[in-house]
Structure 1
Amino acid sequence: MAKLPILMYHNVTEDYTKVEGLTIHKDFLEEQFKYLVSKNYKTHYLSELLDTKSLTEKNVVITFDDVTVNQLAYAVPLLEKYNLKATFFIPFAYIGGTDGWNDGKEAIMTVEQLKSLPDLVELGHHSYKHRAYAKLTNEEIKEDFDACFTICEQQQLSVFPAVAYPYGNFPKKEPAKSVFFQELVKNKMAYGLRIGNRVNKFPFKNPYEIQRLDIRGNESMFKFKIKLLFGKLF
């Protein structure tokens, strides 16, 4: 089985004083992208993996959560510069607004901006209101998915049926876990992504527990390289 690291990014900035947690400087992001290219990593859309039975090269999936305007300003040009594919996950209730689940300071892309993204970017689900699934009732989870699909239909957004769980959170105890996964099946979700900070083996053992590596803005290139190969060790 091949290794398949999935990188998880959030905000991108040009201000070094704002680099912390999940906010990365655009220069650091470019350094990481350069490294992927120099080491001949092949990037994939999540949708491509559905019809892929095995991977033989160095492979990586790049993901961005929240579709913030700063990603459009800084990440998208770098993806185009280095010809890298990525999946951007949408919190649908906040389209054209701000990141209300945080401090509301980051602008979220509008429908027009989402539609203007280059072909290198594939869109995915990041819930409706960016609430932790494990804290929602079954009915609330159903309503959340319904609201996402309604916006996709109304706004004619092409969104691949993969969901990145807000905060990496989903029900982990039975029977809630099985009920949640059944809801994903009902909504024809191909993949569900948590965090976990481990490198996946492909084909995936469980398509609804795919792990991602959280790439933090204040981590060194050495740590990035280690995560890429082995996941989070320290």
Structure 2
Amino acid sequence: MNSKARVRVLMYHKVSVQQPDYLTVTTEQLRAQLAHLRQQQYEFITVQQWLDAWQGTSSLPPKPVLLTFDDAYQTTLTLAAPILQEFGAKATIFVPTAYVGQHSDWDQEAAAPLLSVEALRGLDPGAFELGLHSHHHQNYKYLPAEEMAADLAACLRFFETHQLPFVRALAYPYGGRPKGTLAREAMRRLFREKGIAAAFRIGNRLNRAVPPDPYELNRIDVRGTDSPAAFARKVRWGKWF
């Protein structure tokens, strides 16, 4: 594999036609951002491709970029998917399984509809893969080990019960995970027991092709309040811009 590659992981949430905010990019912004990535010769990968590269069964392109969408908002399908198709892009949707087919109740000021089981099942597997975003969208930073184990088990059970293909990777809700050494190790042990191969924080840094810690992968927070120049700097440098 290309051991010198740096993997950029971009974190998106909502998409809107014309109302950008902290968690929402417009269709115009998304189209311009994907065009910038193509112009700069980045190549879209999936989490599974990255995991396969760790195992030596495949190689990463020279400039890999991974697109992720948290929470499985309906706009990921209705607004983002056609734009991704225009650019031949792939993306990972991290799903909070207790809320599938409902609304994002954690968005207290602007709860939005989420994709149903049928919609998730109908996604083009060549364009989208599904990942874990916990069951109840709770911050793992504050969950006792027993509650975390129950939440993760419920999340996995949802995918298995509904026969939804998924990659065994988790995006921490709110980017949170335990701070204490013992609590952090208990979480890692739980992940290993459940076969979770990777977990994503926020961090806004670039990742090594073979990361030193698969449970501390960094994502770059893409905001609707970012200018085109700010987006370009984030993609190039991560946090250090």
Query: What TM-score comes out, normalization by structure 2 length?
Result: 0.93
Percentage of matched positions with identical amino acids: 36
> Would you say the 8 A contact 1:22–1:214 is kept in 2?
no
Alignment equivalent of 2:112, drawn from 90, 106, 121? 106
Q: How much is the aligned-residue C-alpha RMSD, in angstroms?
A: 1.2
- Distance, in Å, in 2 between the alignment partners of 1:50 and 1:149 is 19
**Counterpart mapping for 1:148-163 below 5 A:** 148-163=155-170
Look up the match of 1:35. 36
SS at match of 1:183: helix
- TM-score, structure 1 as length reference: 0.96
Q: Which piece of structure 1 moves more, 60-69 or 48-57?
A: 48-57
Aligned length: 232
Structure 1 position 130 matched with structure 2 position 137: yes
Q: Secondary structure at the match of 2:77?
A: helix
- Letter paired with 1:44: I
Native 8 Å contact 2:50 2:60 kept in 1: no
- The one-character-per-residue Cα deviations of 1:38-58 (angstroms, maximum 9, x if unpaired) are 222111110111221464511
Q: What's the CA shift for 1:102? A: 1.4
Whether the aligned pair in 2 keeps the contact of 1:124 and 1:161 (CA below 8 Å) is yes
Q: What does residue 216 of structure 1 align with?
A: 223
Partner of 1:44: 45
Structure 2 residue matching 1:74: 3-state secondary structure: helix
Aligned match of 2:92 = 87
Return the offset for 1:163: 0.1
Unpaired runs of 5+ in structure 2?
none
Q: 1:192 aligns with which of 195, 199, 208?
A: 199
**Matches of 2:205 and 2:224, distance apart in 1:** 18
Shift in Å, 1:172: 2.3
Which whole-Å CA distance do the structure 1 matches of 2:117 and 2:91 have between them?
Answer: 18
Contact 1:69 1:107 in 2 (8 A): yes
**Which whole-Å deviations, capped at 9, do the CAs of 1:65-85 have from their partners, x for residues lacking one?**
000001111111111111101
Divergent runs of 4+, >3 A = 53-56
Assess if the C-alpha contact under 8 Å between 1:86 and 1:122 holds in 2: yes
Is residue 99–residue 108 contact of structure 1 (8 Å, CA) maintained in 2?
yes
Tell me the residue number matched to 1:183.
Answer: 190
